[in-house]
Amino acid sequence: MSTQSSQFRGSPSDPHLRVSDAERRAVADRLGEHFADGRLDQAEFDERVNRAMSAKTRADLSGLFDDLPEVNARPETSAPAGPATPAGPRRGHRHPVLVLVLLVVITLAAAHAVVAATVPWLWLGLVAAVLFLATRRSRARQDR
């Protein structure tokens, strides 16, 4: 197996050799580093990661790093040094305004459900109270 830099720089020993999932992930990880450093915009990053993840041979990976500098140079090994990081931008941070809007919508929907369930009972209670008071007054007049 050729070294990582020659493997991804477009000068592999045999461009017709098939690439493994680990090699695709390593390429996506390196592209993610360039994206995080601001060397690639979102569209370029997406296009290159899609190309890397759909690569079948080493030749399909050629050219992905031609216009990018080396990052995190480390001794050549067959496996990445640390745990693999997910390719792409991190999705753990949610926009606080969107969360607030979602909470307001849920609260309004719940309030609407409560009002829709209780208003008919409130009207029924009001009618019952009026009838009770009306019958009480009429009985008081009859007793006099």
Please tell me which residue, 84 or 112, carries the higher pLDDT value. 112
Report long-range pairs for 107-114 (Cβ below 8 Å, ≥24 apart). none
User: 108 with 61, same domain?
Assistant: no
Which is more confident, 6 or 142? 142
Cα 110 to Cα 54: distance, rounded to the nearest angstrom: 45
Are 54 and 35 members of one domain?
A: yes
pLDDT attached to residue 62? 87
Arithmetic mean of pLDDT over the chain = 77
Question: How many folded domains does the chain comprise?
Answer: 2
Examine the domain organization and report whether 103 and 84 are in the same domain: no
114 vs 73: CA distance, rounded Å:
61
Instruction: Choose among 70, 64, 69: nearest CA to 49.
Output: 64
Are residues 80 and 121 part of one domain?
no
**Can you give the pTM of this predicted structure?**
0.43
Whether residue 98 is found in the same domain as residue 43:
no
User: For residue 18, what are the β-bridge partners?
Assistant: 57
- Residue 25 in contact with residue 84, Cβ under 8 Å? yes
Task: State whether 88 and 101 are in the same domain.
Answer: no
CB-CB contact of 52 with 25 (8 Å): no
Backbone dihedral angles phi then psi of residue 57, each to the nearest 5 degrees: -125, 170
Higher pLDDT, 96 or 17: 17
Same domain, 73 and 132: no
The reply to whether 84 and 133 lie within a common domain is no
Residues 5 and 59 in one domain: yes
Q: What is the pLDDT of residue 135?
A: 85
pLDDT digits (tens, 9 = 90+) for 38-97: 999 999 989 999 999 999 998 898 888 888 888 764 434 344 444 444 555 555 566 788
Which domain covers residue 31, as residue numbers? 1-92
